[in-house]
Structure 1
Amino acid sequence: MFFGKSYWKTFEQGIQREWLMTNGIGGFSCSSIIGANSRRYHGLLTASLNPPVERFLVLSSINESIIFSNEKVHLYSFKTPDFTAHGEYHLESFQYNYIPEYNYRVGSMVIQKRICLLYGKNQVAIVYTIHNAINSTLRITPLVNFRDYHHLSQNNNMSFTSICSNRKIFITPYNMDKKIMLECSDGVVVEKPCYFYNMDYEYERERGMDSTEDHYIPGYYDIELLEGKHKTITLVCSFNESIDLLDGEKIIAQEIQRQKDLLQNTKDIPFLKHLIIAADKFIVQRKSTYSKTIIAGYPWFTDWGRDTMIAFTGLTLSTNRFDDARDILYTFSKYEKYGLIPNVFPDGNNEPAYNTVDAALWFFEAVYKYIQYTSDWNFVKKEILSVLKRIISSYKEGTIFNIKMNKDFLISAGDENTQLTWMDAKVGDWVVTPRHGKAVEINALWYNAVMVMAYLTRELGENCNSYVKLAQDIKDSFIELFWNENEGCLYDVVNLYGKDDKIRPNQILSVSLSFPVVEGWHAKSIVNTVYNKLYTAYGLRSLYQKDPCYRGIYIGGPLERDGAYHQGTVWTWPLGQFITAYARVYKDDNNLKNNLERFFIPFEDHFKDACLGSISEIFDGNEPLIARGCFAQAWSVAEILRAYTENFLPLL
């Protein structure tokens, strides 16, 4: 992807597009295409102290200047409350092809800056290549921090000691036995500790949060540039690890090759390749389980059970990462408890949180898909089947959070104070979208889970009759309870207060899952209603626009944002399920291929917006559908990738 000066005619325009790199253990690097940090989460190195969590900002940014005998030219961009540094004036282009690359021009001299994380390490390399140098000095000034990535630092609560020697800088945060190390391949290091004050983060202010912070400067590097010479300089920043490689070109080549290897045996379709590379960023190693897991979204989410299960097929199976898929299923199976799987994994000695009714049911869909892609029956029989049986039994007999099967064979869950479905926003005691009782997607997932069990037991030579009968009982009750004759679709929730007729995307799972609980004309009517009343270019609205509770803009402080989160905000992940449902009910339509293609085309444009090459978590419900929330979301990428490979590619 190439971006020229027309993309940063103003500073504000320049910070609208962001890039992301990840290191496979929860750490990441991200900033804007003009190099200005506009979020608390921006930084060249956010390290994971306990992979993939306990993430700390280590290196915020690098301020570069070209120093002549009587002039300084600053290449860096930032904003404080009363000043803006416009390094983007010297930025000729920005490219993002596997790694971010900035190209600056000062006179006839071109300064190329590339940023590359070292995979599996809490290290980042910043590589400068100087073309057609002018007699001058390149000054590189690191802005260092050490704080939880959710927080902000002020100089009065920061304390560092630093030592500069032999092109190395060792920085020790106060009262810590861990070190930050910087090492440069060229130049001299000058020790001059001070603070950078009041870096301002535009997007934090927009989110109703504190928006300024300070950084520590241990000193700087001066590198001599000689007329007409070509030079490459590598600066590596590491958290609590020795720096073993200081060859920037080699570091970059290794990372690019690693990413290219992910595309082996992939069709030569740029859209598909973008999705596969985007998917890689979410699959990380978890230290506490010694296995792979899935980060729900960048820059602020960690790994969550529900998100992992929904994203599972797209991220691991559609990308042929079958070992990772098996690893993830095995891990979650070992943490099953109460017939549930964790919503949040433990860190250290903490207990998992099991406050989700749907994660365990999505687990069945993941296992079924795994079998369809791999035929790994031995693994499922040996490690998974008994867990699935316990889950079914627990849902039938009842488990924590009032999760239980009722006399009509449908599942109810929760109470007025709990949020157990994916629409889980809660502010204080305010449950924004109360969905306790019998939720439509939970019972679609329940039917699917029982059908998966019938399939698995039959294929493994066990008696499946009880599962087949239960599935039929569920199906008979489902359409009778949930069918909304007036709207030609399904009620969203049924409980003691009645039947909730709000039109939401949850009902699409009744048609899209591997074993749909609704078929025939009912299914087509559901798909048509969802399309006509919820579809947008980037996903499905979480609530029909004409509903009095609809909120079309996701902006403001936490109260305002959570109040809109599932009340009209557009979500991408349900669009993947919608595409599958659409392909199912219109399978005999001669225009199916063209109609499906139209669902994917908008994301080709979105790849060049928000977080480059990825898909955002959410969008405003109102046009023009501005991207909001996490700028790169696992289940958004996963569901578009899954639907593309399962429903569209076979038609080509």
Structure 2
Amino acid sequence: MILLDETICRNYSDSSRREWLETNGLGSFASGTVSSANTRRYHGLLAASLHPPGERFVLLSKLEETILIGNQRYELSSNQYRFVVHPQGHHFIKQFRLDPFPRWTFEVDRISLEKSVFMVHGENTTVIRYEILDPTPHQFAVLAVRPLVAFRDYHSLTSENGSIRRQLEAEEPGLLRIRPYEGLPELRIHHNGIGFTVNPDWYHRFEYLEELDRGLDYWEDLFSYGYLSYELSPKKRLAFLIATLKEKPSLSVSDLDQMESKERVRRQKIAVSIPQADAFAQQLTLSADSFIVRRSEGAMSVIAGYHWFTEWSRDTMISLPGLALVTGRLALTRQILSFFFNHCDQGMLPNHFPESNGPPEFNTADATLWLFHVVREYLDASEDLAFVKEEAFPKMEEIIYYHQQGTRFNIRMAETDGLLSAGADGVQLTWMDAKIGEWVVTPRYGKTVEINALWYNALRVMEQLCKRFKERQKEEQYQRIADRVQKSFNQMFWNADDRCLFDFINGDYKDRKLRPNQILAVSLPFSLLPLERARSVVRIVKEKLLTPFGLRSLAPEDPDYRKAYRGNLAERDSAYHQGTVWAWLMGPFVDAYLNAFGTSSEILKYLKSLLEPFKAHLKEAMLGSISEIFDAEPPHTPKGCGAQAWSVAEVLRAYQKIACCDLDPPKD
């Protein structure tokens, strides 16, 4: 449970920067801030995926809530307008809890009112519940709730227009049907109110300050058809509003209780699915579940981050061990691997599946190689040799063949040294993939350090599998190539002057920029380096790149180093991999440290301390989750997506790995 008291809740600066997130396993979400003011275009109570997990539309933006007690009217909502917050309902928030759903406790004129929000798993349905707590015999209030709708693509904003239908589609007992625009689905609002007052009108110029900070358009108009009224008293303690795209019969309080109980039980099972889990690990496990989605055709996949990312294979492959294997979801891992095997083409996984359901994009040199690591980890966890031999291994052989012979974007094994080379003008192929117009910000063409670490590991995985399958000839073949790669790598990538690795090699040019990519040469199961070189790499990464929230993407002394990730899109993208801290890299750093220095009690204590700042972070940005990136310099402000799959997955995986090492005899 995450708990925020009134000192945070009633401070608008604090409460409007703390966000909450609910998801439904389809790519849809509900999200907002503790203050209840929307600060992003992505905030809304129902941002529904119309073709899971893509084509997301913000349908129900927010609710304006007013409670009437006697002759007094109290506004519970908050909104940011130009130079003013109005109303200021955050002043009535006594407490906010994530338990496991977002819950607010309001204190108004001796009445305590609890509000909760949750999404129903597998449905485009959001449930908002209000309950008066411990009412005295004569307490009575009326709650007025005004739904505000947007009905637009979640990347865009809407303004007053003449195309909107100003009348409800239908009003029935306990149900409102809303369809503002032709071609978009009907929103059904179930409720137990005592009446609905028709009052159609536009509400103008809501300001989203996070969008302003990102250099984007930041104001929006929202439309309301009217407001619902509810009685709150000892006899009618509970009010609800259920926004859904699903055709449902009339809903009662009992139905609501069943929906909430079912979802609570589902999340409790997930939270306790990993051994020796403390509160931190359980919260990360719950967060991990939010990224798992079922596509419209039934396949399982991974959302890279909320709010604006969809499916990226690199993120999926890096995340899977933490999202699914650590949490014991072996069948899920197999399903996701099958989905990506089915989309493998010319020895490559797609880099990205567009939201528009167009053809996948293949501009990645590393995602496919991460797949070998996942298959190995899956086999170690499951001993599912049949799946690996019958489905995975043939595809993996095909991938190796294409990488040897050559595939898209000049990805090819060099005949001279066995190393993997990749690159095409104007195309970003590594995880450092920022591009502004035709400018690739970090053009790492040629032989890159992490791609070749992954290539080497892929070859060793194939060698191991061939040994298990008793294919001796193939085993020797992969062993010869891997040995050659290891020798060439040490000859070409070792930077003797700086006692670390070059970042990439292109012809005679060897890039000396100190980046975190070299940590993969030590962190992966098959290390390329002799022990002393491995330790030297870890030491220099620790000295120059390590922060409380991950590794910097570039060393501070570099002339291209950027201290902060801010400004418009071009300014932010130019800083994305030029110093900005990436949380997911904490996982490889922990692996590398263990590989290089062993598992003594002192080392495990040190590594545990590295993950401590993330415990506080769970209460600071997207509550209960881990941000995509952080500024390079203190206070390392969280930036980018508030909930990022590989950030959560790698911190959880590293945390559990350290815990497991603690149970085993130490190794120095």
Short-chain TM bin: over 0.9
Distance in 2 (alpha carbons) for counterparts of 1:14 and 1:347: 32
Which amino acid is 1:629 matched to?
Answer: G
Identity of aligned residues (%): 40
Most deviating of 121-130 and 239-248? 239-248
- Report what 1:216 is aligned to: 223
In the alignment, what sits opposite 2:119?
A: 117
C-alpha separation between the residues in 2 aligned to 1:69 and 1:256? 36
Indicate the SS of the match to 1:518. coil
Find out whether 1:560 has 2:571 as its counterpart.
yes
1:338, 1:435 → 2: CA distance? 22
Aligned to 1:126: 128
The 2-side partners of 1:615 and 1:82 are apart by 30
* Distance of 1:264 and 1:50 partners within structure 2: 30
Secondary structure of 1:213's counterpart equals: strand
Q: For residue 485 of structure 2, what is the aligned residue in structure 1?
A: 474
Asked if the contact 1:178–1:240 (Cα under 8 Å) also holds between the matched residues in 2, the reply is no
From the superposition, tell whether residues 223 and 433 of structure 1 become closer, same or farther in structure 2 (CA, over 3 Å): same
Contact 2:627–2:643 (CA<8 Å) still a contact in 1? yes
Q: Which moved more, 1:54-63 or 1:511-520?
A: 511-520
Cα 1:222–1:645 shift into 2, 3 Å: same
Normalising by structure 2, we get a TM-score of: 0.95
Structure 1 runs (4+) deviating above 6 angstroms are none
Match of 1:225 in 2: 232
Measured against aligned partners, the alpha-carbon deviations of 1:172-205 in whole angstroms (never above 9, x if no partner) come to: 1322262011111232112221112111111000
- Please point out which of 190, 206, 217 is paired with 1:183: 190
Match of 1:410 among 419, 422, 427: 419
TM alignment of 1:354-365, pairs within 5 A: 354-365=362-373
Contact 1:165 1:189 in 2 (8 A): no
* Structure 2 Cα separation of the partners of residues 120 and 71 of structure 1: 41
The answer for the alignment partner of 1:13 in structure 2 is 14
Q: Please give the alpha-carbon distance, in whole angstroms, between the structure 1 residues aligned to 2:604 and 2:273.
A: 26
Shift of 1:364: 0.3
Which residue of 1 is the match for residue 149 of structure 2? Answer: 144
- Deviation for aligned residue 1:5: 1.6
Task: Report the residue type matching 1:306 in the other structure.
Answer: R
* Partner residue in 2 for 1:395: 403
Could you tell me which amino acid in structure 2 is paired with residue 17 of structure 1?
Answer: R
Mark the CA change 1:626 to 1:509 in structure 2 (over 3 Å): closer, same or farther.
same
Query: Structure 1 stretch 264-273 or stretch 296-305: which is displaced more?
Result: 264-273
| In 1: Cα distance, 2:23 partner to 2:188 partner | 19
Q: Are the counterparts in 1 of residues 310 and 355 from structure 2 also a CA contact under 8 Å?
A: no
Aligned residue number for residue 519 of structure 2: 508
Deviation at 1:68, TM superposition (A): 4.2
Cα distance per residue 1:154-184 (max 9 Å; x no partner): 1127513413332321111322262011111
- Letter of the 2:364 counterpart: T
The equivalent residue for 1:622 is 633
| 1:459-517 superposed Cα distances (whole Å, 9 cap, x missing partner) | 01212110000000000000111111111110001103611100000000001112121
In structure 2, what residue type is equivalent to 1:483?
W
CA pair 32-295 structure 1, distance change in 2 beyond 3 A? same
Aligned residue-pair number: 650
Matched with 2:666 is none
Question: Does structure 1 conserve the Cα–Cα contact (< 8 Å) formed by 2:9 and 2:95?
Answer: no
The CA distance in 2 between the partners of 1:428 and 1:236, in whole Å, is 43
> Is contact 1:25-1:284 (8 Å) kept?
yes
Q: State how far apart, in whole Å, the 1-side matches of 2:177 and 2:354 are.
A: 32
Residues 182-191 or 42-51, more deviating? 182-191
Given the superposition, is the C-alpha separation of residues 251 and 600 from structure 1 closer, same or farther in structure 2, using an over 3 Å criterion? same
Q: Distance in 2 between matches of 1:590 and 1:100?
A: 38
> TM-score with structure 1 length normalisation?
0.97
Distance 1:349 1:91, change over 3 A: closer
Shift of 1:265: 5.6
Distance 1:157 1:512, change over 3 A: farther
SS in 1 for 2:189: strand
Amino acid at match of 1:66: I
Give the equivalent residue in structure 1 for 2:591: 580
Query: 2:315, 2:603 → 1: CA distance?
Result: 29
- CA deviations on 1:18-52 (whole Å, 9 max, x unpaired) are 11111001011111112111111111111110011
Which whole-Å CA distance do the structure 1 matches of 2:42 and 2:562 have between them? 27
SS, match of residue 436 in structure 1: coil
Counterpart in the other structure of 1:53: 54
C-alpha distance in structure 1 between counterparts of 2:156 and 2:23, whole Å = 20
Query: Could you give the per-residue CA deviations for residues 37-82 of structure 1, whole angstroms, max 9, x where no partner exists?
Result: 1111111111110011111101111111012453311000111115
- Cα separation, 2, equivalents of 1:169 and 1:229: 25
1:116-173 deviation digits (Å, cap 9, x = unpaired):
1011000101001013273332101111121111111111275134133323211113
2:195–2:228 CA contact under 8 A, matched in 1: yes
| Contact 1:233/1:248 (8 A) holds in 2 | no
Q: Tell me the residue number matched to 2:608.
A: 597
The answer as to whether partners of 2:10 and 2:90 remain within 8 angstroms in 1 is no
Q: What displacement does 1:579 show?
A: 0.3
Q: Deviations over 1:623-651 (max 9, x none)?
A: 10000000000000111111122243331
Among candidates 102, 106, 115, match of residue 104 of structure 1? 106
Determine the C-alpha separation between the residues in 2 that align with 1:578 and 1:489: 15
Q: Which stretch has the larger CA shift, 230-239 or 64-73?
A: 64-73
> Hey, what's the Cα distance between the residues in 1 that align with 2:246 and 2:221?
22
Offset, 1:268: 4.2
The Cα of 1:346 is off from its aligned counterpart by 5.8
Cα 1:400–1:16 shift into 2, 3 Å: same
- Equivalent residue of 2:378, what SS? helix
5+ long unaligned stretches in structure 1: none
Matched residues in 2 for 1:170 and 1:301: separation? 30
CA shift, 1:352, in A, is 1.4
- 485-494 vs 127-136, greater mean Cα deviation: 127-136
Mapping for residues 446-465 of structure 1, pairs under 5 Å: 446-463=455-472, 464-465=475-476
